[in-house]
């Protein structure tokens, strides 16, 4: 089952033509998970804002915005932004989200594997990410792909009753 779905998954960079799909995807994901670091309620999304966001990703050689499409449906997004200064342009931060109906089919792993290939080709030396300490599914995936915990951030984001702890995880390339 998982293998056959993954065979239908096509990973490619997001382009401005994908804007409506990305806007809908983000709205749906927001309702499906509480694990996103920043959510749409903090920063309401719109067609124009997302379109500009996608354009931003095309302007920097150390930015990457990937979509995983299941046939024509956008099933997952991966964002990577490298630093702006010459001193940190080789380091960047990863964000990822998969539509809930596709969790556990290997799409997250496939997107991150594409990012790693791109990092090697584009002289990126370190990928960082923030993950809620109780997001066991995501942490298991990151550890499997070689991420290590570098630090713990306490009170980084306020939940409905108490602040969440976040792990800072990193993957380095030679």
Ligand X SMILES: CC(C)(COP(=O)(O)OP(=O)(O)OC[C@H]1O[C@@H](n2cnc3c(N)ncnc32)[C@H](O)[C@@H]1OP(=O)(O)O)[C@@H](O)C(=O)NCCC(=O)NCCS
Interatomic CA distance for residues 140 and 31, integer angstroms: 23
Q: 36 or 54, CB closer to ligand X? A: 36
Which parts of 74-133 interact with ligand X (CB under 6 A)?
Answer: 96-98, 103-109, 129, 131
Q: According to the binding rule CB under 6 A, does residue 141 interact with ligand X?
A: yes
Residue 108 C-beta: closest distance to ligand X, Å: 3
Contact with ligand X (CB under 6 A): which of 15, 26, 33, 126?
33
Give me the phi and psi of 94, to 5 degrees please: -105, 140
Contact with ligand X (CB under 6 A): which of 126, 137, 168, 172?
137
Which parts of 153-172 interact with ligand X (CB under 6 A)?
Answer: none
Which parts of 13-32 interact with ligand X (CB under 6 A)?
Answer: none
Residue 87 C-beta: closest distance to ligand X, Å: 26
Interatomic CA distance for residues 94 and 145, integer angstroms: 13
In the structure encoding, which two tokens stand for residue 170, read together? 């990193």
Interatomic CA distance for residues 90 and 83, integer angstroms: 7
For 114, the 3-state DSSP assignment is helix
Cβ atoms of 97 and 111 within 8 Å: the answer is: no
Q: Count CB-CB contacts under 10 A for residue 71.
A: 8
Residue 97 C-beta: closest distance to ligand X, Å: 4
- In the complex, which residues of this chain contact ligand X (CB under 6 A)? 33, 35-36, 96-98, 103-109, 129, 131, 135-138, 140-141, 144
């Amino acid at each position: 089952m998982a293998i056959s779905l993954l065979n239908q998954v096509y990973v490619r960079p997001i382009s401005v033509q994908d804007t409506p799909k990305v806007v809908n995807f983000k709205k749906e994901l927001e309702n499906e998970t509480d694990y996103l670091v920043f959510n749409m309620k903090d920063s309401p999304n719109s067609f124009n804002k997302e379109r500009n966001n996608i354009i931003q990703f095309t302007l920097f050689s150390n930015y990457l915005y990937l979509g995983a499409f299941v046939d024509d449906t956008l099933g997952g997004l991966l964002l990577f932004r490298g630093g702006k200064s010459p001193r940190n342009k080789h380091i960047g931060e990863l964000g990822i989200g998969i539509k809930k109906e596709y969790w556990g089919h290997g799409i997250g792993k496939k997107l991150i594997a594409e990012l790693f290939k791109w990092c090697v080709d584009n002289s990126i030396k370190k990928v960082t990410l923030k993950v809620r300490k109780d997001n066991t599914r995501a942490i298991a995936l990151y550890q499997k792909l070689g991420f290590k915990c570098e630090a713990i951030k306490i009170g980084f984001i306020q939940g409905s009753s108490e602040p969440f702890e976040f792990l800072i995880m990193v993957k380095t390339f030679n």
